[in-house]
Amino acid sequence: MPDPAYGSLPFAEQIAFFKTKLNLPTERWDDLLGAAHDRAFVVAGATKADLLADLNAAVLKGIEQGTTLAEFRRDFDALVEKNGWTGWTGEGTAEGRAWRTEVIYSTNLRTSYAAGRWAQIQEVKATRPYLLYRHSDGVMTPRPEHLAWDGLALPVDDPFWKTHYPPNGWGCQCRVFAVSDQDLEKLGKAGPDRAPVPPGDTSGIGRGWDYAPGASRTRPLAELIDTKLTRLEAPIGAALAAAMADALALERDLAWKETFDDWSGTQARGRVAVVGALHPPVLDWLREHGHPQPATAEIAIADYLPLGPKQTRHAAAQNALSPDEWRALPALLRNPGAIYRDTRSGKLMFVSESLGPAKVAVEFDPGKTRKQGGLNQIVSAFRVDDMNIAGAVKGGEWVPITVPGK
């Protein structure tokens, strides 16, 4: 069986894994699923930064100090009162509070434990190349599939573990142990077993649990956020992007520069990249003024814009963006000098004097953007002078979007 030393290693890996998580606002438990949890700390219904920070600290206390569920519940009550958090699932009854606090506490402890073990497993897999699945005898109502996997031994890199590395559902207490060839012999095995299900079969796995905690912690943050932006409703996506703005900025800039440079010198062929997100106050302004809102909050660009005929026409008119200005596109969208709404088309115009000034129009029209994946598309980007902007505003063609802090 596994050497006791393996299980008694200082568990810095678990703590380090949890500390790298970023607080993300979510409305529902399934706003974020699967491997995205390797990068994000979420509590369904918790959307305020201070509340999420307090919840994160309470969970981290349990991980670092080994505090009990009872102590976490006391911390939970205090931070709920401190932050004025109401409407959370389970609120109002003792049973609801007990269930919700246990879900938050145990889920984070078990997944961070599993992620820490995953890091250790990778360190020792040269001498312990197999994982042994063990079902917990303490579970009152075992899941038949989990019980059937008890004693299963497969190579560490077997595709099975990509979806079946525990925990494999809410309340799942299954674990795996790294074992050697000698350990397999002691178990009466001539070698590793065969996976009991084909790759991709997630029977017996709870929704959103078909991933190996810790295996995706190096996934780029921008990739994670962009995936969520295209799926979440616009207000939630905008809030998520705003909460992640500081952490995401450098990664977004570098990712877009690399993408733009990869596109340069090639022919346009419909490649699309997410380069920003709408600010929550902009969505608020659109709603308050009775204008349609986009379904989602991402701002994307297709390669035909910097590579196609529009860029050629703007170059002839001497108002095209330079390569360096194209590379600065995420920064323009993140902090524009002004934002206007075109009263004729409904487009949003982002203007940044740092680019010349440059005008970027974002159009929300599924009928026109469906070929590019149905995302909110930037449809034009070029330099425009102050006189033209002033004329458009005076003539009522552009209406300034007034947001707090601008």
pLDDT tens-place string over residues 35-63 = 878 878 899 999 887 899 999 999 999 99
- pLDDT value at residue 295: 83
**Residue 211 belongs to a domain:** no
**How many angstroms separate the CA atoms of 113 and 57, rounded?**
17
- pLDDT value at residue 367: 40
**Residue 319 belongs to a domain:** yes
- Going by DSSP bridges, is the β-strand pair 175-179/22-23 parallel, antiparallel, or unpaired? unpaired
Q: How much is the average pLDDT of 399-406?
A: 72
What is the domain range of residue 396? 221-400
Q: How much is the average pLDDT of 135-141?
A: 87
9 secondary structure, DSSP code? S
Do 21 and 161 lie in a common domain? yes
**Residue 286 belongs to a domain:** yes
**Is a pLDDT exceeding 80 seen at residue 71?**
yes
Top pLDDT among 183 and 24 is at 183
**How many angstroms separate the CA atoms of 2 and 6, rounded?**
7
- pLDDT value at residue 213: 95
**Residue 241 belongs to a domain:** yes
Please say which residue of 166, 186, 206 terminates a domain. 186
pTM assigned to the model: 0.64
pLDDT band at residue 374 using 50, 70 and 90 as cut-offs: low
372's CB contacts (< 8 A; 6+ apart) are 270, 272, 300, 302
**Residue 206 belongs to a domain:** no
The tally of domains found in the chain comes to 2
Contact 33, 210 (CB under 8 A): no
- Closest alpha carbon to 114 in 29, 196, 215, 186: 215
| Residue 104 main-chain phi, psi, to 5 deg | -65, -50
Do 80 and 226 lie in a common domain? no
